[in-house]
A and B are shown apart, each in its own frame.
With several copies, the nearest count.
Chain A
Amino acid sequence: MPIYSEKVMEHFMNPRNVGEIENPDGTGEVGNPVCGDMMTFYIKVKDNRLEDVKFKTFGCGAAIAVSSMVSEMAKGKTLDEARKITPKLVADELEGLPKNKFHCSNLGAQALNKAIDNYLKKQAKRGKK
């Protein structure tokens, strides 16, 4: 009985969208290595839609699988739609997470949100200019 669902294992073994985006429209970094996990999300936005999403993650199997799942769920969504990707939704899509790993799904959603925030902030600045 592995601690992770098959879906988590599948995303961990074959994570989608690993990497960085050159000149991203937004980036979001959460976590720190002290508490175990750290994720950086990169987004490319076009017409208010997430044209591309990539990530780098330092962390456990759950952290990597969550990152992969979030990136996949977010890609192609509008910013508003992407905001609605909750930790619960991510965990459900992954067919559950061990109780003590649930915080990983928080991190994933947070990192994506931070990247969107970062994009919007940049846009605002640009607008001001």
Chain B
Amino acid sequence: MRKVYLDHAATTPLLPEVREAMLPYLDELFGNPSCLHDWGDSAREAMEAAREQVAQLIGASTDEIIFTGSGTESNNFAVKGLALAQQNKGKHIIVSAIEHFSVLHSAKTLEKWGFELTEIPVDQYGTVDPDEVRKRIRKDTVLVSIMHANGEVGTIEPIAEIARITREHNIHFHTDAIASVGTISVDVKELGIDALSLAGNQFYGPKGVGALYIRKGVRIMPLLDGGVQEGGRRAGTENIPAIVGLGKAADLAKKDVASRVKHLGHLRDRLLTELPAQIDHIVVTGHPKNRLPGNASFCVEFIEGEAMLMLLNSQGVAVTSGSACTSRALKASHVLIAMGLSHELAQGSVLFTFGIDNAEGDIDYVLEVMPPIVERLRQMSPLYAKFTKTGKGGR
């Protein structure tokens, strides 16, 4: 059976070059970069080279890059660390309603710690209106955190516009660019932001490593206290193999970003147009234009996402869904709900995310296996029965 991985939003495979770059650091070059002997020297050298590669990818300088253990850690670090460092100035923060939980729940933790939290709504496409941010800024606002691109629906936010507003008001602005860095070009200077999160396993680098860009001069409280690694801002023995892998992935992304955008964009556009041509009562979610090149997300009416996902998996196709049943907490995607979709429609969520290894044949295969799956589940669905009998219950 054909095996087609279309869940690159969840995690990406390692590029062979990335794996090759890592291997020596899982072997004889196992040193700890804090050490002053040869083993430490090699590790330090590798780490600083990787820092340069990551800095290059996003247009930062090396002393603005802090390595972390994951995208989630970068987001927790940024949101909590930037807010706590400024609590004498004010205790109000702003995030969007469609942030990843690592931002949203960090913000809620700050709420427990005495901060006030404003969630900015989004429109039907999942876009944040910069004016809405402007309206909600208060005298005591110290941090705005709005994601660069949403991994679930692919929508790219107008970060540069928002950053212009936060700069006018002298408020720190963090953006979660975990879903975008390495896939589309991201430049911290062009965006004009103060902090940015990225993660290795979103662009063919390893798991267990992320980075936080933090603009020179911006103060942040550590999330991980301990030794003086990373200039005292992030303690703990550095994960050198993963850091080296992240560096290599950054290097390759920088070189290949234009061709990635083109290749992924083509696959996405095919699926976005051809799947609805074959299946009735299916809705594209996310922004029609400003969206990640690899993201094709839909809601299929009258059926539920987990069942779709499992039947696709039985045909060798790996996808994900924002339905309540697929989440361990049994809640429909907060992103889809914030975009104004009904819970019923959100239940039919299915998300295809492409990677650089996917090819035309993969789209053909999806177009072949998906319609019968939808048909089969609809034949089982009491909602579809009601709709076909009464014409009611559709959108």
Contact = CB atoms under 8 A, between A and B. Distances in A.
Contact of B325 (A12, A13, A36, A39): A36
Interface of B: 36, 41-42, 44-45, 48, 302-304, 306-307, 310, 314, 323-326, 328-330, 332, 343-344, 347, 379-385
B382 A58 contact: yes
Given A13-B314, A33-B347, A57 B326 contact: no
Interface string A85-119: 00000000000000010000000000000000000
A68 to B, nearest CB: 10
A71 interface: no
A3 B169 CA distance: 41
Given A58-B383, A60-B307, A36 B347 contact: yes
Most chain B CB atoms below 10 A, which of A20, A36, A59, A64: A36
Top 7 nearest A-B pairs (CB, nearest first) are A60-B325, A1-B45, A60-B306, A33-B344, A56-B382, A34-B343, A36-B324
A40 B307 contact: no
B379 A58 contact: no
B380 A38 contact: no
A127 interface: no
Interface string A56-95: 1111111110000000000000000000000000000000
B191 to A, nearest CB: 30
Given A36-B330, A60-B304, 17 more contacts: A12-B310, A13-B314, A33-B304, A33-B343, A36-B304, A36-B325, A37-B325, A38-B382, A56-B382, A57-B380, A57-B381, A58-B380, A58-B381, A58-B382, A60-B306, A60-B307, A60-B323
> Of residues A20, A38, A39, which shows the largest number of chain B Cβ atoms within 10 Å of its Cβ?
A38
A15 interface: yes
B23 to A, nearest CB: 20
Contacts of B303: 58
Contacts of B314: 13
Contacts of B36: 3
Contact residues of A: prevailing secondary structure: mixed
Nearest to A33: B344
A35 interface: yes
Given A1-B41, A1-B44, A60-B304, A35 B324 contact: yes
Interface of A: 1-3, 12-13, 15, 18, 20, 29, 33-40, 56-64, 100
B45 A59 contact: no
A22 B42 CA distance: 44
A29 to B, nearest CB: 7
A18 B379 contact: yes
Given A1-B45, A34-B344, A60-B325, A18 B380 contact: yes
Contacts of B343: 33-34
B48 A1 contact: yes
Contacts of A58: 302-304, 347, 380-384
B28 to A, nearest CB: 17
A2 B41 contact: yes
Given A1-B41, A3-B36, A33-B343, A57 B382 contact: yes
Contacts of B310: 12, 61
Q: Which of B302, B330, B332 has the most CB of A within 10 A?
A: B330
A38 B366 CA distance: 27
Nearest to B383: A58
Tell me which of A2, A20, A60 has the highest count of chain B C-beta atoms within 10 A of its own C-beta: A60
Contacts of A15: 380
A61 B382 CA distance: 15
A20 B325 contact: no
Contacts of B381: 56-58
B380 A64 contact: yes
B303 to A, nearest CB: 7
